[in-house]
């Protein structure tokens, strides 16, 4: 296998193996036993933190559309609905990951696979295309993470627009 690609999330590298394809929704897809296994990319896992709980709203044998909602993940930093990265029929759900969700963190590109599909992954992104997608989406992803949160200062009190004093670095 050629060297993996790396996307830097701040100072944290998200490793992207080049032996598989990727979906825009931050899942990887890789052929195994005549099926296509899918799992979360390192980018997704980094945003989520430690995966604590996974649940599926679909069962083996179900036909799903690309982008269709298939489950839910809860992790230490975030939660998310999960969406199918491709169209096809679900062949298997990884029972090991359901029993031990932290496999997604510890072995995300191998034993941490989530579902196996009867499907064709040819339309998904190459690792290079996925890397470009991450680079393009990163500023927006950050803005999405920031969101309209928190208490806004009162409208009638303006905030200083500039400030140039360097705060001294202190040590406890």
Partner 1 sequence: MPENISVILSEPRPDDPGVEALADSLAERLAGRPGLRLARVANLYDLEPAGPVMESIRRIEGDLVVLSALYPRATFWTLKTAGVPGCLADRGESAERAIWCLRLHPGADAGEILGQIDRIVARAHGGATTPGPGGQPVRPSAPAHQRWYPVIDRQRCSGCLECLNFCLFGVYGVDAAGGLLIEQPDACRAGCPACSRICPEGAIMFPQHVDPAIAGDDKASLEGLKLDLSQLFAGADPSVMATAERDRALAAVETREDSRGGDQLDDLVDEMDEMDL
Q: Which residues bind partner 1 (CB under 8 A)?
A: 9-12, 23-26, 44, 47-48, 67, 74-83, 85, 136-137, 139-154, 157-172
- The greatest distance separating any two alpha carbons of the chain, rounded to the nearest whole angstrom, comes to 64
DSSP three-state, residue 42: helix
CB 44 within 8 Å of CB 51? no
Q: C-beta of 1: minimal distance to partner 1 in Å?
A: 25
Of 99 and 159, the one with the shorter C-beta distance to partner 1 is: 159
What is the number of alpha carbons within 13 Å of residue 114 lying toward its C-beta?
A: 27
Q: Cβ 40 to partner 1, closest distance in Å? A: 9
Q: Among residues 124, 116, 120, which one has the least CA distance to residue 25?
A: 124
Closer CB to partner 1, residue 35 or residue 82? 82
Judged by beta carbon, residue 62 or residue 141, the one nearer partner 1 is 141
On whether the CB atoms of residues 4 and 128 are closer than 8 A, the answer is no
Choice between 33 and 135, CB closer to partner 1: 135
CB of 110 to partner 1, least distance (A): 21
Structure tokens at 167: 């705060």
The nearest distance, CB 9 to partner 1, in angstroms, is: 8
């Amino acid at each position: 296998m050629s060297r993996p690609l790396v996307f830097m999330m701040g100072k944290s590298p998200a490793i992207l193996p080049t032996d598989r394809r990727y979906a825009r929704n931050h899942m990887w897809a890789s052929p195994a036993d005549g099926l296509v296994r899918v799992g979360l990319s390192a980018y997704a896992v980094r945003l989520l933190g430690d995966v604590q709980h996974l649940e599926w709203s679909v069962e083996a044998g179900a036909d799903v559309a690309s982008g269709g909602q298939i489950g839910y993940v809860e992790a230490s930093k975030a939660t998310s609905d999960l969406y199918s990265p491709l169209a096809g029929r679900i062949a298997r759900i990884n029972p090991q990951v359901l029993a031990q969700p932290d496999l997604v963190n510890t072995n995300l590109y191998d034993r941490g696979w989530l579902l196996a599909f009867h499907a064709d992954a040819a339309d998904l992104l190459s690792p290079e295309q996925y890397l470009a997608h991450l680079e393009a989406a990163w500023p927006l992803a950050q803005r999405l993470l920031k969101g309209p949160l928190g208490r806004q200062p009162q409208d009638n009190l303006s905030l200083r627009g500039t400030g140039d004093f360097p705060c001294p670095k202190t040590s406890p």
